[in-house]
Amino acid sequence: MSRAATTRTFPAALADLADAVRQLEGLTAQVGPFALYPDACDREPELVAALCRALEVPLTFDAPARDRDFALVGLAAEIRRAQRAPELAGLCAEDAAEQARRLRQEENTRYRTHAVHRPDGSVITVVDAGPPDAPCVLVSPPCALSYRLSLPWLTALGSAYRCLVIQTRGTSERIAEPEVFDQRGHDVVHQVDDLLAVAEEVATGPVHLMGICGGAAVALAAAAWRPDRVSSLSLWHADLELGEEAQKTDHQINLRAMLDLAGESRDTAAWLRGKLTSGPMTGVPERIGPLVVRPYATAELFYRYARLTAATMHWDSRQTAVKVDRPCLVVTSDDDDTAHPAGSRRLAEIIPGARLVSADHGNHLDAFRATPGQVACLTSFLAR
């Protein structure tokens, strides 16, 4: 390491670029080296390449541009944005790479990672933050999305709580034989068993379950089936099937129909993915776009996302909601156009004593932001 690397103050833009690269580390961990388009690093190609090597995220930038794949565009969006920062011009790639390693090490010291081995051979990845002996919040996120989407909650809760984030079966370990995923199962029962296994093997006692979006169906069932493992339940912008008792958004209706089709077979998933990614993809959020687009990165990942998520979207949560006897917080917003707030309102009516909090405004993805107001809402509920 050069002397400059030990004494120089690097611009914040370098940390931003390193984070953009790390948003794709979960993808490459599953599928190996991954090709993006050359214009993803059109300003600082040497710097981006050096950071990819330093952070052990095997990206290449040589995808053929003849047939534009807009999933690749979405996956590359944050790298493309971050590497254009003027402050990065002229940085020594070697020194910047060493600083990126240091940033990764500093972040990784704040989190612990566990691998929970299931009887069917699945390996469930769990990210863990906070004091090991503190009360534990176990996050059940939407299927197939990276733990990095939940990092704001790990950071916000880490001083007073131990916070665990589970990654759905089949969406974190390296893919060697794709068909093994089907053999091991992917329905709600399997997902609930995984969540409870994490609660038993990683946590030190009953947990505060926190279900977000589609992860709410899994958390709800876990609380109903094993109340001895659950201290409380909070459900954020829940995407649930409640039959005719709750209205759905157009997004919920259309997404479930799409995933039903994609889950028919790998060939169908590949065909449908090609249709979806042949034009610009709408609704890709800034700053976290690659984390949201990841399930569309390859046909296999899209197939797995379809099978896992469709299972939660078809699961009738009324059968488990009526059995919940733990303190329950239900959070939504009046104008959530992704998961209809009517579902959360009806859920709060079904679960005895549930507390409903509905903001006037809020994007569905706001559930991952861990704003001061959200954190205060959760911690005041947990302190009751």
Structure tokens at 98: 């060493």
- b/e per residue, 257-279, with b = 16+ CB within 10 A? eebeebbeebeebeebbeeebee
Better-scored residue on pLDDT, 63 or 6: 63
Which position has the token pair 């388009």? 37
DSSP string over 273-322: HHHHTSSPPTTPPTTTHHHHHGGGSSHHHHHHHHHHHHHHHHSBTHHHHT
Average pLDDT over residues 332-338: 95
Burial of 244 (0-12, 13-18, 19+ CB in 10 A): exposed
What per-residue confidence (pLDDT) applies to 308? 98
| Mean pLDDT, the chain, integer | 95
- Judged against a pLDDT cut of 50, whether residue 19 lies above it is answered with yes
In angstroms, rounded to a whole number, what is the distance separating the alpha carbons of residues 125 and 113?
7
Q: What is the mean pLDDT of residues 308-319?
A: 98
331, two tokens: 């959070």
Predicted pLDDT at 266: 98
What pLDDT does residue 7 have? 52
pLDDT at 153: 97
Say if residue 4's pLDDT is above 50.
no
Evaluate if residue 5 carries a pLDDT over 70.
no
Mean pLDDT calculated for residue range 317-324: 96
Q: Is the pLDDT of residue 3 over 70?
A: no
Q: pLDDT at residue 39 above 60?
A: yes
The 10s digit of each residue's pLDDT in 344-368 is 999 999 999 999 999 999 888 999 9
Which residues have CB under 8 Å from 275's CB, separation 6+?
A: none
Q: Please give the pLDDT value at position 258.
A: 98
What pLDDT shows up at residue 1? 41
pLDDT digits (tens, 9 = 90+) for 251-304: 999 999 999 999 999 999 999 999 999 999 988 999 999 999 999 999 999 999
Res 204: pLDDT = 82
Relative to beta strand 328-333, strand 162-166 is unpaired
Q: What is the pLDDT of residue 29?
A: 97
Note the Cα 103 to chain centre separation in Å.
21
What pLDDT is attached to residue 312?
98
DSSP state of 168: -
Over residues 79-105, the mean pLDDT reads: 97
Q: Note the pLDDT of residue 92.
A: 96
pLDDT at 66: 82
Q: What is the pLDDT of residue 241?
A: 98
Q: What is the mean pLDDT of residues 109-126?
A: 96
**Mean pLDDT computed over 124-138:** 97
pLDDT value of position 65: 82
Rounded percentage of the chain residues whose pLDDT exceeds 70? 98
Q: With 90 as the cut, is the pLDDT of residue 192 above it?
A: yes
Q: What is the pLDDT of residue 195?
A: 98
- Let me know if 67 is exposed, middle or buried by CB neighbors in 10 A (0-12, 13-18, 19+): exposed
The residue-averaged pLDDT of 226-245 equals 97
Q: Which two tokens stand for residue 157?
A: 């809760």
Tally of CA atoms within 13 A in the half-sphere of 114 that contains its CB: 19
Question: Measured between alpha carbons, how far apart are the two ends of the chain, in Å?
Answer: 52
Residue 167 tokens, joined: 């990654």
Residue 219 has pLDDT above 70, yes or no: yes
With CA atoms as reference, report the closest residue to 235 among 256, 205, 214, 206.
214
User: What is the mean predicted confidence (pLDDT) over 166-172?
Assistant: 97
Neighbours of 341 (CB within 10 A): 23
pLDDT attached to residue 8: 74
* Rounded Cα distance, 289 and 147, in Å: 14
